[in-house]
Amino acid sequence: MKGNSTILVTGGAGYVGSHTVVELLKNNYTVIAIDNNVNSYATGCDKPESLKRVEAITGEQVIYYKADIKDKDAIDKIFKAHKIDSVIHFAALKAVGESVQKPLDYYQNNVGGSSALFEVMAKNGVKKLVFSSSATVYGDPQFLPITEQHPTGQGCTNPYGKSKYFVEEVLKDVCTSDHEWRVILLRYFNPVGAHESGTIGEDPAGIPNNLMPYISQVAVGRRDKLTIFGNDYPTPDGTGVRDYIHIMDLAVGHLKALERIDSPCFKSWKAYNLGTGRGYSVLEMVKAFEEASGKKVAYEISSRREGDIAECYADASLAKRDLNWTATRDIKAMCRDTWNWQKKNPKGFQSS
């Protein structure tokens, strides 16, 4: 089914969504992107800026609807208007800190919205899905590297992570109830970087939650200095270690998952880690970014942040074996492409 089929991409205007749409278009898929634009830069019902740029990068058109996955009638109309083959489901609220403040928003959007989407899918006979999950479902790692067999849902420390875990559980139950469903859960480690063109990238609203956008905003002069939360973790340099993965590698992973779902032997559901399998510390990332950008990144050390863990990195061998997928872009490419995007778009999509 590679190419020539139509993929509905929820949250298509977002960071992972837009980069995945680039890869889909490059591979001759027809893409229908929906987004409620709560985190996208767009005017009215206009196509969001990120998707306009995706079209500029690829020379292909994205069919776009401003729609919320919680609105079953609106989503149903989209399914009725197109012959959709599969769904890649990104749409979700994603700010960890905000989720602690507003848990009901997260449960209603991420769990309620997803359940509504799945109901509309089933009603329209579309039962192939790639779900945007997260390594946060593993909670505090019991062993490293983390395999897909690691327990999930225990010790998830925030509603964002729990909402991802809940949706995974909902999907497992959906697959048990109806054997026509074929679902891949992709558990992302730490997506960073940007498309090599530097025209699309991560554009967080407000103060970035994640390390890489924070570093690049310091480098570009939008923020004074980086705060590093804890340098007394049991890691080589005391700062937290994470498995960073280039966004374009991640995007490719979704296409591999779509192909896998269409292989004759695939049934029910399966979870895959998408990571490099190697961890980098905060200080290593700062150093690599300074080298890639030629800019100094000022930082201060602060105390540990509640809920943070010392180390987290993937065992990515299952995705290699089953999906024939492996991350190919290294830390230099991650930093170079982040900086390229940041430098060209100091205020993100608003710069346009």
| Binding site residues, a second copy, CB under 8 A | 100-104, 107-108, 111-112, 115-116, 118-119, 122, 153-154, 159, 162, 166, 169-170, 173-174, 176-177
The nearest distance, CB 178 to a second copy, in angstroms, is 9
The nearest distance, CB 103 to a second copy, in angstroms, is 4
- Of 137, 154, 250, the residue nearest 193 (C-alpha): 250
* Rounded Cα–Cα distance for residues 64 and 221 (Å): 34
The nearest distance, CB 262 to a second copy, in angstroms, is 24
Q: Which of 15, 29, 64, 160 is catalytic?
A: 160
The nearest distance, CB 98 to a second copy, in angstroms, is 10
Nearer to a second copy, 305 or 344 (CB): 305
The nearest distance, CB 300 to a second copy, in angstroms, is 28
3-state secondary structure the chain: CCCCCEEEEECCCCHHHHHHHHHHHHCCCEEEEEECCCCCCCCCCCCCHHHHHHHHHHCCCCEEEECCCCCHHHHHHHHHHCCCCEEEECCCCCCHHHHHHCHHHHHHHHHHHHHHHHHHHHHCCCCEEEEEEEHHHHCCCCCCCECCCCCCCCCCCCHHHHHHHHHHHHHHHHHHHCCCCEEEEEEECEEECCCCCCCCCCCCCCCCCCHHHHHHHHHCCCCCCEEEECCCCCCCCCCCEECEEEHHHHHHHHHHHHHHHCCCCCCEEEEEEECCCCCEEHHHHHHHHHHHHCCCCCEEEECCCCCCCCEECECCHHHHHHHCCCCCCCHHHHHHHHHHHHHHCCCHHHHC
Nearer to a second copy, 85 or 98 (CB): 98
Nearer to a second copy, 107 or 266 (CB): 107
In the residue annotation, 64 being an active-site residue is answered as no
The nearest distance, CB 164 to a second copy, in angstroms, is 13
Catalytic residues: 160
